Amino acid sequence: MDLEIGEKVDLVVGRFTNVGISVLVDGEYEGMLYKNEIYQKVREGQKLTGYVKFIREDGKIDISLQPIGFLNKIGENESYILDKLKAEESGFLQLNDKSSPEDIKYHMKMSKKSFKSAIGGLYKAKLIVISSDGIHLANKER
């Protein structure tokens, strides 16, 4: 097997199972997307880009739809959140670190842990303000 952890791969969505979704990786390997790590709608036969998360001893591959590694996820998630904030005329999103995991997953297509890490990075960079009612772009009047 010529794959490495973190490598970007092409996927074709296969069948849905109790633990997740089986995928065909680069047209030749069997992989699994775990349902607790899927933050977007997918359908059978859909082509996606994924990343090798883990290669098991049995040759099966655990796949992620997000880049592997803390730094990759944070940068991508921070950009996504900034884009969402900029798309709002008010520069405000009614989500913060106290929001429910379900609300964050529905609105931001990421886990609460990823969301909290990303807004923490944006806050440290002084790009956002976190308040009890949500997050604001730092340069927008409230």
Q: What is the pLDDT of residues 44-64, one digit of tens each?
A: 999 999 999 999 888 889 999
CB 99 within 8 A of CB 71: no
Domain of 133: which CATH number?
Answer: 1.10.10.10
Distance separating alpha carbons of residues 32 and 25, to the nearest angstrom: 9
Q: Are residues 56 and 85 in the same domain?
A: no
Please tell me the total count of domains within the chain: 2
Q: Are residues 19 and 50 in the same domain?
A: yes
pLDDT at 1: 72
Q: Are residues 38 and 58 in the same domain?
A: yes
Q: pLDDT band for position 67 (50/70/90)?
A: confident
Range of the domain at 49: 8-64
Domain membership flag for residue 2: no
pLDDT at 69: 64
Which stretches within 2-141 are classed as H helix? Answer: 70-87, 101-108, 112-124
Q: Are residues 83 and 121 in the same domain?
A: yes
Burial of 85 (0-12, 13-18, 19+ CB in 10 A): buried
Distance separating alpha carbons of residues 1 and 56, to the nearest angstrom: 11
User: Does residue 67 come out as left (phi exceeding 0), alpha (psi in the -120 to 50 range) or beta?
Assistant: beta
Can you give the pTM of this predicted structure?
0.55
pLDDT beyond 80 at 87: yes
Q: Are residues 54 and 74 in the same domain?
A: no
Domain membership flag for residue 1: no
For residue 11, what are the CA distances in angstroms to 27, 39, 139?
Answer: 7, 16, 40
pLDDT at 40: 82
Read off φ and ψ for residue 140, nearest 5 degrees: -95, 140
Q: Which of 64, 81, 109 is the last residue of a domain?
A: 64
pLDDT at 142: 46
Mean pLDDT across 32-36: 90
Q: Are residues 122 and 86 in the same domain?
A: yes
Output the six-digit token pair for 132. 């009890």
